[in-house]
Chains A and B, each alone.
Chain A
Amino acid sequence: MLLVLIIALPFAGSALAALVRSNNRNTEAWLAGSIAVAEIVLLSVLRPAVMGGGVLRAELAWLPSAGLDFVVRLDGFAWLFAMLVAGIGLLVVVYARYYMSPADPIPRFFSFFLAFMGAMLGIVVSGNLIQLVFFWELTSLLSFLLIGFWHQRADAREGARVALTVTAAGGLCLFAGILLIGHIAGSYDLDQVLASGSVIRSSPLYLPALVLVLLGALTKSAQFPFHFWLPRAMAAPTPVSAYLHSATMVKAGVFLLVRLWPVLAGTDYWLWFVGTTGLITFVFGAYYAMFQQDLKGLLAYSTVSHLGLITLLLGLDSPLALLAAIFHIVNHATFKASLFMAAGIIDHETGTRDLRRLSGLYRFMPITATLAMVAAAAMAGVPLLNGFLSKEMFFAETIATHDGSFVDAALPYVATLAGIFGVVYSLRFILGVFFGPAPRDLPRPPHEPPRWMRFPIEALVLICVVVGVIPAMTIKPFLTTAARSILGEATPSYSLGIWHGFTLPLLMSVVAIAGGVAFYFLGRRRLAVAPDGPPVIRLLAKQRIFERAIVMLSWRWAKTLEEAFGTNRLQPQMRLLICTAFLAAFFPVYVQGAWPGSLGPSSIDPAFALVWAGGVVCAIGAAYQAKYHRLAALILMGGAGLATCITFVLLAAPDLALTQLVVEAVTTVLIVLGLRWLPKRLEAIPGDFSNAARLRRMRDLVIAVAAGGGLALLAYAMMTRPYPAGGIAGYFLQHAYAEGGGTNVVNVILVDFRGFDTLGEITVLGIVALSVFALLRRFRPASDNLEGPEQQHFQDIYDRAHPDRHEGSTLTDYLAVPAVLMKLLFPIIGIAGIYLFLRGHDQPGGGFVAGLTMAVAILVQYMAGGARWVEARLRVHPLRWMGFGLLFAVSAGVIALFSGQSFLTALPANVTLPWLGTLPLGTVLLFDFGVLALVLGATVLMLIALAHQSLRRIKNPAKAPAHETEVA
């Protein structure tokens, strides 16, 4: 449980920090600080268990079905790293308390900061690789928010975006690599993956997995050529740089390389990829750093260089180099964090970070200057400081032979050269800022920072010195445990002494320091006035390659593609959709063959053939007539629908036939109501008969014939094949009565077996009805539809011409006899609906068709008497019907919950009533009644809303073409 707290605490603190309302720096800092202290205490409590070489594990079930558990795993290495994250986190919190201005949104800062700490600790103590990737991406995301903290500044937004693009893209590569590793090892559990190192290395997927994981790790650790995001991230507030870009986030990459070292290292690929990248980054980072004029830019490139050193050590593939890498991770974190803080103080107290403007600050801030000098000396590798020790180990490793190649032989010289560069930029930092003549026209008069703002630097510098002087008594036990948790029995014995006698590494150190000093004094005049960035490469950087690439990818190419393939027009889209669907169906059929199956065709029923002879003519006629003769097309479409309906009757689907028949009627009424609002289209007006148009139509005809023919072939092939065994149909037929209590299996499926689907379906129906209603409330007809229909116009003229009639008489008389009959039909159709509803569970019928039938009963009244006549006599409340319908359906499900069953379980209750006989009044009936009510309400709502449009007095009709303001 304590283990889970390691991750949970910072996130809880983050949520809490966001909730603090006032912009109180003290409250926030105390909160964040106590979280960091709690982490340190927690880790100290867990220390004894880890120091013995033990591994602590805690598991929480996450997705056990997919073999994924939330695993917290703490070993010596994770402990050391977690301590680093928590310890430096605490110091940065103290520093940030003074650095951040009260004008900044403090709760946001500390909330992000703590969440980042949690994500970082999540990476460190993850015992599951998927979980590790999750926290990995979380750090990318939070670093985006932290770098862009001053989002009003363009450079902060830019830096944040670049950092996120690079590290999150790397994270995706890492995810892919981890999936490959998990696939090879058969598990994502870290312990199991670590145990299957040899299997992974000998797998053919090793190389892609390695490359992908390295892409993730090297982008995160800002290795060449992905280093460019780190200098840009310097737009972040300095506490963020001190935390993320020295101690934690950029170390996640090398952390992962160490973590997976037993699995991935030990091959030539590893040596070449990791070693080469590390070497290039180490040298170039140091070279770049020398020419920086921005204090934080110098530190950023030096961080790039030091990360390259660590990567190079890991690439050298020897246990001792690994140990040196871990050691340097810790050392670099301490001296670099303190240097960042010092740079922040200088910036804070003078108002500039430009090395060309700063000088002679020693006389104004002697304590800070001294601290920075010590830390910079550690960075340069001066003896008696921690940086010297790990650099010495590094030099020793470069001398040792690895693969005997040319690069291997050149390694010590290259390392010494980079060492010289390191001394130069350290000297620039110190001598350039603190010594020399007093600065002129600084934005602010420089002075020492507040006491506690300096405290974190003092603590870190103290560590640098103590570790540098008595390493064996301070860092060695932790280092040994950390190395043992990676290397196991292969952990080498080593001595962490300051003095090893006159050795080659010592000579390299001396050469580096002496060379660096000489180099600095030779070139300092030129450096002091040079523009920002190294010569020649500076011009390359001005090209802004990354931005160009991003613009190219996300804008130019995208635009070209969109212009080539995109369209706002519907017809090409439909064509593309249909062709894609056709091809998607075509290929599997082409591969498998879609020839008639083994079943012989059944004998042809002449009636059926006749029905479809008519149906086919109707369908083609509808397609032909839909442009000019809308009513004819509608009638023909109804004919095709009727043929479909008869098919259902003949092929033993009475429920479908009933539903289709009623829907057919309702749809026809609906479209007829809509016809009134469409523009006149006369055949007399010539259409487009150009060759291009003919060609277009021919192409569409070919597509339509091909798709229709293909579907016919597919249908025939399917129908002549035997029914596949093992479907669910047999189960439904068998259990419909025994478990569903009904004999109409289709209805039992709808209201019982698949009741949840039906509930979703009627909800959709309700939403559609409401959308239709809402759209029609805002409906503005086009100007040419404002007048009544032509027919009505002539009727009115006729009525006016006869003194015994008044306007509207003809309309009232129209179909007078059928209208009387239709009015009389109301109770009959209504009772038919109730009948269909009640028998539905056992005989063809049910809520859907009953609801539609009752809707038809009401519609017939509207057709016979007109809307005003009906609404004067009958109060229809479609919205209430819909609401209660949904309520009934849901309550039928909830009742089952009360009796301890799962949602929507059918509870039977047969009730015997006089005259009516035994009725199955279980929850099923309640549910089906809900379906009925909703279908009735929705249908009536849509049709009445449409019918009412003719009665509305349009106040400000839309002009054609309308402008957008009139949409409202």
Chain B
Amino acid sequence: MEIILAIAIGVLAGSGIWLVMRPRTYQVIIGLSLLSYAVNLFIFSTGRLGPRAAPVVRAGEAGDLLRYVDPVPQALVLTAIVIGFAVTALFLVVLLASRGLTGTDHVDGQEPEA
């Protein structure tokens, strides 16, 4: 399991980084989304894999890490997903405004000089 997740994280991050370095704004926005999947999965995986139950305890029970997975990375990733959405939205609108103003979708606001 670990090796699959590690490869997944690596591929997502590599694809995201490749796109983030591209010249078109749309490539960058897709790249940031892929990169955020990778980072979220990485943070999530710091809680380690393994056959444990979701962090939902029974009423009146004091949970422990032997039976339940780590809830802290999950709480972190949950907020990261929502903020990631907000960042994507903001970036999309900036991208659109820049395209409207400059007439190009190049990240520098002007086509590169040939």
In the complex, which residue of chain B has the Cβ closest to the Cβ of A843? B56
A20 CB–B CB distance under 8 Å: no
Are A745 and B56 neighbours in the complex by a CB distance under 8 Å? yes
Q: B18, A623: Cβ atoms under 8 Å?
A: yes
Cross-chain contact of A711 among B10, B55, B69, B86 (Cβ < 8 A): B10
Distance in Å: Cβ of B86 to nearest Cβ of chain A: 4
| Contact A738/B62 with A674-B96, A711-B38 known, Cβ cut-off 8 Å | yes
Partner of B57 from A601, A711, A745, A942 at Cβ < 8 Å: A745
* Count of chain A to chain B residue pairs whose CB atoms are closer than 8 Å in the complex: 341
Contacts of B63 in A (CB 8 A): 733-734, 736-737, 745
- Between B2, B9, B83, B103, the greatest number of chain A beta carbons within 10 A of the residue's beta carbon is seen for B2
A window 713-740: CB within 8 A of B: 713, 715-716, 718-720, 723, 727-730, 732-738
- Is A719 touching B82 in the complex (CB atoms < 8 A)? no
Residue in B56, B68, B77 whose beta carbon sits within 8 Å of that of A656 in the complex: B77
CB-nearest residue of chain A to B34: A619
Report yes or no: B29 in contact with A671, Cβ–Cβ below 8 A: yes
Question: Does chain B have a CB within 8 A of A743?
Answer: yes
Would A704 and B10 count as touching, CB distance under 8 A?
no
> Is the CB–CB distance between B2 and A716 below 8 Å?
yes
Q: Residue A447 at the B interface, CB < 8 A?
A: no
Complexed CA–CA distance, A764 and B90 (Å): 12
In the complex, the answer to whether B13 meets A708 with C-beta atoms within 8 Å is: yes
Contact A703 B13 (CB under 8 A): no
Contact string against B for A residues 632-657, beta-carbon threshold 8 Å, 1 for contact and 0 otherwise: 01100100110110011001111110
What is the number of residues of chain A that contact chain B, defined by CB distance less than 8 Å? 122
A719-B34 CB under 8 A given contacts A670-B88, A843-B56: no
Q: Which of A604-632 contact B (CB under 8 A)?
A: 604-605, 608-609, 612, 615-616, 619-620, 622-623, 626-627, 630
Question: A844, B56: Cβ atoms under 8 Å?
Answer: yes
Instruction: Specify the main secondary structure of chain B where it touches its partner.
Output: helix
Cα(A757)–Cα(B82), bound, Å: 13
**A605, A608, A637, A738: most-surrounded residue (chain B CB, <10 A):** A637
CA distance A939 to B82 in the complex (A): 10
Residue interface bits B37-54, CB-to-A below 8 A is 1, else 0 = 110111011111111111
Chain A residues contacting B95 (CB-CB under 8 Å) are 674
Interface residues on B, range: 35 or more
Closest chain B residue, CB of each to CB of A767: B86
Residues 734-759 of A, flagged 1 when their CB comes within 8 A of B and 0 if not, give 11111000011110011000100110
Binding stretch for chain B, among A273-281, A394-402, A776-784: A776-784
In the complex, besides A674-B96, A711-B9, 6 extra interface pairs with C-beta distance below 8 angstroms are: A571-B107, A612-B5, A653-B69, A713-B10, A758-B79, A776-B96
> Given A715-B10, A844-B54, do A764 and B83 touch, yes or no (CB 8 Å)?
yes
Cβ–Cβ contact A745 & B96, under 8 A: no
A575 on the B face (CB < 8 A): yes
Residue in A667, A720, A958, A967 whose Cβ sees the most chain B Cβ within 10 Å: A667
Point out the residue from B1, B50, B65, B87 that lies within 8 Å of A768, measured CB to CB.
B87
On whether the beta carbons of A609 and B4 are closer than 8 Å, the reply is: yes
Task: List which A79-111 residues lie within 8 A (CB) of chain B.
Answer: none
Partner of A750, one of B40, B78, B99, B103: B78
Across chains A and B, which 5 residue pairs bring their CB atoms closest together, nearest first? A708-B14, A960-B103, A712-B10, A733-B63, A716-B6
Bound Cα distance A578, B19 (Å): 12
* A707-B17 contact, Cβ under 8 Å, with A674-B95, A715-B10, A765-B82: yes
